[in-house]
Amino acid sequence: MQQSNSNINFFKQNHHSLNVFKVLIFIDKDNWHEVCIIKYIVSVKRIIKLKIGVIMSNKLKVVAVSGGVGRPSRTLALIEEITDRLSQKISIDLHLIELGQIGSQLGAAASRTALPESIQKDIEAIETADFLVVATPVYRASYTGLFKHLFDFVHHESLFDVPVLLAATGGSDRHALIIDHQLRPLFSFFQSLTLPIGVYASEAEFVDYKVANEALDARIDLAVTRAIPFLKPRL
Ligand SMILES: Cc1cc2nc3c(=O)[nH]c(=O)nc-3n(C[C@H](O)[C@H](O)[C@H](O)COP(=O)(O)O)c2cc1C
């Protein structure tokens, strides 16, 4: 018992050293249970340190997908506005994928291996993102074929619980439900965490392909503010 107390005191004085438990194993062969507890404490401390380190040092990996098929693009303007607002609130590392820029190569590939390396990297970025912001123009009351084609290449188990902010632009407000009737089911398939508030914008809310409407401004702000509590790095 006396030996046990002295070991505990020894641990208390030296707990900053990760070698402590090795010393204890050596000097305390009989009190294996005590050694196990100390080993456990040291391991837990290491894990906590590691996790805090990751959270503190890593910027949030945000991947934004703009489904606009050309430039200029209202969909791109909307994505840029959303990610700008986000970067004003938290530290992010942004990877932007513009379908208008990769469309011809993406559309020509029938399998992932047939894609050029840069697009394969885009897909890997999606699969490892901490947070996805996706926006598509409405085409025939849904997302574009290219948008779906991109996500057809994304591994079906790579987006579990990943928060996704859904956004779309359309000719009028008539297809605003694309967010809930088209985009949300797609990301439900991936078992992503589709955020409750998406952003829909109609052509009239842009001037010269820039967001130019107070109500849209407020909707973007609300969506970003409400997204923040869901965002954390993947561990
Ligand atoms: C082929 C095509 C189909 C479209 N279908 C719809 C539609 O069904 N509903 C709608 O509201 N807008 C529709 N639009 C309008 C676009 O969604 C709208 O102009 C959008 O803002 C374009 O985005 P962009 O500037 O990023 O290309 C369509 C546009 C095109 C070119």
- Is the domain of 99 the same as that of 172? yes
**Minimum CA distance residue for ligand 1 atom 30:** 139
Q: Determine the structural domain holding residue 147 and report its residue range.
A: 59-230
Q: CA 60 to CA 81: how far, in whole Å? A: 17
pLDDT at 34: 55
Q: CA 228 to CA 195: how far, in whole Å? A: 10
Indicate which CATH number applies to the domain containing 181: 3.40.50.360
Contact 183, 143 (CB under 8 A): yes
CA dist 162 → 41, 61, 63, 86 (Å)? 31, 11, 11, 16
- Is the domain of 27 the same as that of 70? no
Per the structure, the count of domains in the chain is 2
pLDDT at 93: 98
Question: From the CA of 107, how far away is ligand 1's center (Å)?
Answer: 19
The pair of three-digit structure tokens given for residue 65, joined into one six-digit string: 């997908």
pTM (2 d.p.): 0.80
Q: CA 165 to CA 29: how far, in whole Å? A: 56
- Is the domain of 31 the same as that of 127? no
Of 11-20, 131-140, 210-219, 225-234, the least confident: 11-20
Comparing C-alpha atoms, which of 186, 231, 233 is closest to residue 67?
186
- Is the domain of 226 the same as that of 142? yes
Beta bridge partners of 93: 61
**Minimum CA distance residue for ligand 1 atom 31:** 139
Comparing C-alpha atoms, which of 42, 47, 38 is closest to residue 8?
38
Comparing C-alpha atoms, which of 215, 214, 156 is closest to residue 190?
156
pLDDT at 217: 98
pLDDT at 89: 97
Q: Ligand 1, closest atom to CA 141?
A: 8
- Is the domain of 40 the same as that of 142? no
Mean pLDDT, the chain, as a whole number?
A: 85
Of 13-22, 23-32, 96-105, 175-184, the least confident: 13-22
- Is the domain of 105 the same as that of 171? yes
Q: CA 64 to CA 79: how far, in whole Å? A: 7
- Is the domain of 109 the same as that of 215? yes
- Is the domain of 93 the same as that of 208? yes
Mutate to test the pocket of ligand 1, among 80, 99, 138, 209 (most ligand atoms within 8 A of CB): 138
Q: CA 175 to CA 153: how far, in whole Å? A: 26
- Is the domain of 48 the same as that of 99? no
- Residue identified by tokens 């702000």 is 221
- Is the domain of 131 the same as that of 44? no
Question: From the CA of 74, how far away is ligand 1's center (Å)?
Answer: 10
- Is the domain of 41 the same as that of 106? no
